Amino acid sequence: MFEFVRKHNKIMMFLMFLLIIPAFVLVGVDGYQRMNDAGAAVAKVASYSITQGEWDAAHKSEVDRLRATRPDLDVKLLDSPQARYVTLERLVRERVIAEAMNSSLLAISDKRLAAELQQIPAIAAMKKPDGTIDKERYVQLAASQGLTPEGLEARIRQDLSRRQVEAGLGASAFAPQAVADMGLNAFFERRDVQVARFTLAEFASQIKIGDADIEEFFKANSALFQTAETVDLQYLVFDVEAVKKTVTVNDADVRTYYEQNNARLQSKEERRASHILINAPKDMPAAEREKAKAAAQDLLQKVKAKPDTFVQLATKFSQDSGSAAKGGDLDFFARGAMVKPFEDAAFSLKKGDISDLVESDFGFHIIRLTDIKTPSVPSFESVREKLVTELKAQQAQRKFAELAEQFTNGVYEQADSLQPVAERLKLDIQIASNVQRKAAPGAKGVLSNAKLLAAVFSADAIEKKHNTEAIETGPSQLVAARVTKHEAARTRALDEVRGEVKARLLQSRSQEAAKKEGQSKLKTWQAQADEGKLSAAMVLSRDQAPALNPRLMEAIMHADTAKLPAWVGLDVGGEGYAIARINKVLPRNPAPAGATEQERGQVVRWLAGAESDAYYEVIKARFKVQIKVPRPSDNSTAVGATE
């Protein structure tokens, strides 16, 4: 099928045109999107069904948004069942609130909608000189999101209505000072605690593991010992740097460029001046400012009478601590370095001149111009290399734009080899081995690009060894790859992983032994504690916690302390098992100065969030919400504390 499409792409394009255009005419972009999204319902709110397609699109939109706002974020972290389920829950919540708004007849006026649209930077940038919006660009923006302008406006109206409801709930939240302080005191209370730990190392030496144990564990957990699916690749990187290697510039072009850029290359005029400053900030009372001006005027008369005394007078009377010790010298400066009144005066003087009184936001200045550096144009030879680099970069950028289409078409049309494109565009074919479907955390370079990896592991690339399409992996950077070898994932033979199996089994059994011993001791110590096993007492609080397992810390702070001492036992995974005895409950430390009001405000925000969640649960029941996808299990969930 793919071969037919490749060989007859013009015929297929014509057929697609005949089929697709009428469909858009009949149902519009929004309607076509809804048809495309038709599928199994993953959730239902009242009579509205959220489809798998809608869920996928929402999650992709969320990932794209995060990539735009957080370029440093590893978006692969979002490619998990848990992250996708969070997106589904958000979709359901938005739909529930939309239903509530409709039933309450909440509406957003055209005026409010227009004001909101003006706040969106992408739309605000479309303003024409007469203040109206460029309709063509507006339609393109909506289409980029799979919507018509009407559909985009409907989405924004819905978002505004939802925010209106949530803002109303937040504004109504209120916590009396006494209630806020009670909650804060409870949250930040301190606890006097002793801890005993049962580590895996204590039990590892007691555990015997035989060959039969290893074989049984291997069979039950074979998925843990699979090799990753890998491919060996050839790939081409087409970017500005690659194009730059093919660009040559001749001396005539460089010299012309030099002459065209004389104004930019020449140095700026600089002036050296000294000054006497009498401080008079602009917010100084008028009477005091007049006194400062009179003092400055008196100094000006002395300087004008005896110019040679300028340095001595500046050293003695100038109130600019930075320059007074140097006789008022400010060294050389260019335009833009000084406040404008000072700059205008300095650049209007001739060498040796003394200005009249100059007033600025700092006070009153008397300026003497001591030297002038006139602008100079560097010689051609001194800047030749710099200009060659600039010219190559400019020509490479233009050439990249011209050749990008050749690269894209070439890797597609000659799909069984990268060599023709490499020769045509003078690119080096690069090689990579053992590339996996997902890049390692922190990996960099083009082979860490998720979109490229998805293309590499597609059926067309693996089964038919066709080139991938040209993938944009960065600004002005295209990459195409070709699989030369594919290794499917497989379970390794027991002999290959015997040591790893034994280590995992030893850890698992050590963890079980630590937990069993810890739970046994917990029951015994609740009657009579073994003080020798417990650590020295330490005081813990949520705002001042020592280096303690976070789950253990939360278990301690959540423990019921109605009867002391209180006991907590917790399986802390790879750290073994921990027991904590809570001896005392102590009041919180006094809040830092100025933090009390901020903390009380936080309590109000917590209450607003709780009220919003409670409201959501009520209307969620009213509209009979059904989420038809099971919540993903979280294997990292902690074992709960026991008392």
Residue 344 is predicted with a pLDDT of 92
Residue 334 C-alpha from the chain's centroid: 39
CA distances in angstroms from 323 to 295, 301, 535, listed in the order given: 19, 21, 63
Is the torsion defined by CA of 89, 92, 96, 98 positive or negative?
Answer: positive
Packed helices 149-172 and 596-622: angle between N→C axes, nearest 10 degrees: 120
Residue 342, pLDDT above cutoff 90: yes
If you write DSSP's letter for every residue of 70-136 in order, what string do you get?
-TTS-GGGG-SHHHHHHHHHHHHHHHHHHHHHHHTT----HHHHHHHHHTSHHHHTTB-TTS-B-HH
Question: Tokens representing 311?
Answer: 């340095």
Q: Report pLDDT digits (tens) over 218-246.
A: 998 888 888 888 999 999 999 988 888 88
* pLDDT of res. 397: 85
Distance, CA of 158 to CA of 98 (rounded, Å): 7
Q: What is the pLDDT of residues 127-145, one digit of tens each?
A: 665 667 777 777 777 766 6
Architecture label for domain 25-172: Orthogonal Bundle (1.10)
pLDDT at 28: 44
Who has greater pLDDT, 159 or 459? 459
Q: What is the mean pLDDT of the chain?
A: 81
pLDDT at residue 183 is higher than 80: no
Dihedral of the alpha carbons of 154, 160, 163, 164, in degrees to the nearest 10: -120
Q: Are 478 and 427 in contact (CB under 8 A)?
A: no
pLDDT class of 394 with cuts at 50, 70, 90? confident
CATH for 267-373 is 3.10.50.40
**DSSP states of 552-572 as a string?**
HHHHHHHS--SSSSEEEEEE-
Parallel/antiparallel/unpaired status of strands 538-540 and 190-198: antiparallel
Structure-token match 């038709």, residue found: 38
Q: Are strands 566-571 and 577-586 parallel, antiparallel or unpaired?
A: antiparallel
Helix/strand/coil for 577: strand
Residue 325 has pLDDT above 50, yes or no: yes
Classify residue 465 as exposed, middle or buried by CB count within 10 Å of its CB (0-12, 13-18, 19+). middle
Token digits of residue 161: 């209505």
Calculate helix-pair angle for 149-172, 81-103, nearest 10 degrees.
80
Higher pLDDT, 595 or 310: 310
Cα Dmax for the chain = 108
E-strand ranges in 101-229 read 190-198, 226-227
Residues 88 and 50 sit within 8 Å (Cβ to Cβ): yes
Q: Is the pLDDT of residue 572 over 60?
A: yes
What pLDDT sits at residue 398?
86
**pLDDT-derived band of residue 22, with 50, 70 and 90 as boundaries?**
very low
pLDDT at 167: 61
To which residue do tokens 């008196």 refer?
Answer: 298
Q: Give the residue with greater pLDDT, 635 vs 99.
A: 99
What pLDDT score was predicted for residue 163? 67
Lowest mean pLDDT among 156-170, 450-464, 494-508, 517-531: 156-170
pLDDT at 59: 80
28: helix, coil or strand?
Answer: helix
Confidence of residue 347 (pLDDT cuts 50, 70, 90): very high
Neighbours of 571 (CB within 10 A): 21
179 Cβ contact list (under 8 Å, min separation 6): 603
Sequence ranges of the domains in the chain: 25-172, 189-224+498-586, 229-250+383-488, 267-373
CB atoms near residue 33 (< 10 Å): 18
Position 24 scores a pLDDT of 41
Sign of CA dihedral 46, 51, 56, 60: negative
Among the ranges given (11-15, 357-361, 422-426, 547-551), the one the predictor scored with the smallest mean pLDDT: 11-15
> Which residue would you say has higher pLDDT here, 149 or 390?
390
Look at residue 12 and tell me whether its pLDDT is greater than 60.
no
Q: How is residue 631 written in tokens? A: 């919540």
The 10s digit of each residue's pLDDT in 536-566 is 889 888 877 667 888 898 898 889 988 999 9
Listed in sequence order, the residues at least 6 apart from 434 whose beta carbon sits closer than 8 Å to its beta carbon are 230, 232
